[in-house]
Amino acid sequence: MEPINRTLSKMMNVPKFKERYEMLKQELLNEPQIRSFIAANPELTEAEIEKSLPKLFEYKSQVRDCNECGSVEQCKNMMQGYHPVLIKSRNYIDIKYEACEMKIKSDAKKKHAERIKSLFMPRDVLEASFDKLDEAMHDSHDEDREAAIRRALDFVENYENKRSANGLYLYGPFGVGKTYIMGAIANRLAEKGISSLIVYSPEFFREMKNSIGDQTLQEKLETVKKVPILIFDDLGAETMTSWTRDEILGVILQYRMMEKLPTLYTSNYDYDELEEHLAYSQKNGIERVKAKRIMERIRHLTDSSFVGGKNRRN
């Protein structure tokens, strides 16, 4: 088999091929980024540039694909999410690949999402922000709602600065935005690299009960106990049993109290109403002492705020 360089040498002696080759070469060297790179490296000789033409062709095709790219998922480059950068390597021009701006943003978004774990929560809550709350607050002129949002911001600031941060207990009627405020807290903390878990209480307790059968109860319980920020959404909407209250909720809150891990809540009930709800279980009737024990942990480790206003779900 004839060596490829000898074949190319012969082809270069064919007038039409040589003419076409020179035209493509000049087009390539006139690419703005390639021209700028060569100008910035005047020590490159003609022979070195000639030797580098395959890499320059690769660079041109990859840059073209980058310019036409709409997202990391649509990336056509050899390394998805990476764009080519020209470098000088010994006596020729080479390429290295670096993460593009879209990949950097995409990776940051994924890390952000990973910091907010959720069980049974709607997407709009996971995308909540204080910026949107500010806009809504200016429109509503609702003093209770404004006070709740200020307390939420205070919680974030205190937690960020490692000051003692009690949890929050937001209560009020349906649809006034209690859960959305909690979502905004979780997102603001995620921006700072702080993980949180938001759980919809009725589905969470049902999930824990079902976990007995597949023997994953302890594993799930450990996760919820130890997450840096735990948010119980709609506490009080579940059907309460002694087991749910004492072996799940009580165990979680006891651990978090001992480890000084903040727990946040939303509920339709105020403290007294929630205590009444916790006191009643389907099988054992009224158990006020056990309910009071749970409520002592909630009362002393949270700041309570009423959230009023119109039902925003309608």
Of 152-156, 216-220, 284-288, 289-293, where does mean pLDDT reach its minimum?
Answer: 284-288
Look at residue 156 in the predicted model and tell me its pLDDT: 92
Q: What is the pLDDT of residues 149-208, one digit of tens each?
A: 999 999 999 888 877 678 999 999 988 889 999 999 988 888 888 888 899 999 999 988
pTM, two decimal places? 0.66
Q: What does the pLDDT read at residue 1?
A: 42
Q: What percent of the chain has pLDDT over 90?
A: 31
Judge residue 197's burial from the number of C-beta atoms within 10 Å of its C-beta, 0-12 exposed, 13-18 middle, 19 or more buried: buried
CA pair distance 229, 223, nearest whole angstrom: 11
Count CA atoms within 13 Å of residue 64 on its CB side.
Answer: 8
| Per-residue pLDDT at 12 exceeds 70 | no
Residue range 6-32: mean pLDDT, rounded: 72
Confidence of residue 121 (pLDDT cuts 50, 70, 90): low
What is the C-alpha to C-alpha distance for residues 182 and 180, in angstroms, rounded to an integer?
5
The mean pLDDT of 203-229, rounded to a whole number, is: 88
Which range has the top average pLDDT, 9-18, 54-63, 216-225? 216-225
Q: Between residues 199 and 102, which one has the greater pLDDT?
A: 199
10 pLDDT more than 60: no
Mean pLDDT of the chain: 83
243 pLDDT higher than 50: yes
Q: Which domains does the chain have, with CATH numbers?
A: 4-102 (no CATH), 106-306 (3.40.50.300)
CA angle 281/285/290 to nearest 5° reads: 65
- The predicted pLDDT at position 23 comes to 84
The C-alpha atoms of residue 194 and residue 189 are separated, in whole angstroms, by: 5
pLDDT tens sequence across 250-272:
999 999 999 999 999 999 999 99
116 has a pLDDT exceeding 60: no
pLDDT at 44: 87
Which residue has better confidence, 107 or 226? 226
